[in-house]
Amino acid sequence: MPILHHVDFIELAGYGRAETGGQRQARFLKDLDEEIQGRHVLLVEDVVDTGLTLNYLCRSLALRAPASLAAVSLFDRPYRRVVEDLPLRYVGFTIPDEFFVGYGFDLDERYRNLPDLHVAQLN
């Protein structure tokens, strides 16, 4: 990027349904190292499906008063969305309802190292 920028990482995990009385919720495993107040923030996602995780993340980060908050995703499945009004500004590809492996995407921690994407055959 030809502009001054900073890269930081967040890690989220979901609670199992039994732990939350039947509702799935996300929680932070790793938070940002830097403050975002007054800064322009662009979230980079791999896949946006239901939008629940991205919605949780956006609501959490909005409380920290960034100057702006937007998201980019390599893959999008808008037909699976249960949350509207996501700040998903940039999308690489809208993909079918199939499971992909390779290029960093895994199936049970396998196939992540493949140099390109493949549709996984789930049994």
98-107 residue pLDDT tens: 889 999 998 9
Classify domain 11-98 by CATH number. Answer: 3.40.50.2020
Torsion of CA 42, 92, 101, 23, to 10 degrees: 50
Could you report the per-residue pLDDT of 66-92, keeping only the tens digit for each?
A: 999 999 999 999 999 999 889 999 999
- Prediction pTM value: 0.81
Q: Which of 49, 76, 85, 116 is catalytic?
A: 49
**Catalytic residue at 49?**
yes
- Identify which of 33, 37, 86 has the alpha carbon closest to the alpha carbon of residue 66: 37
Residue 93 to residue 47: CA distance in whole angstroms:
10
Give the pLDDT band of residue 19 (cuts 50, 70, 90): very low
Domain coordinates in residue numbering, the chain: 11-98
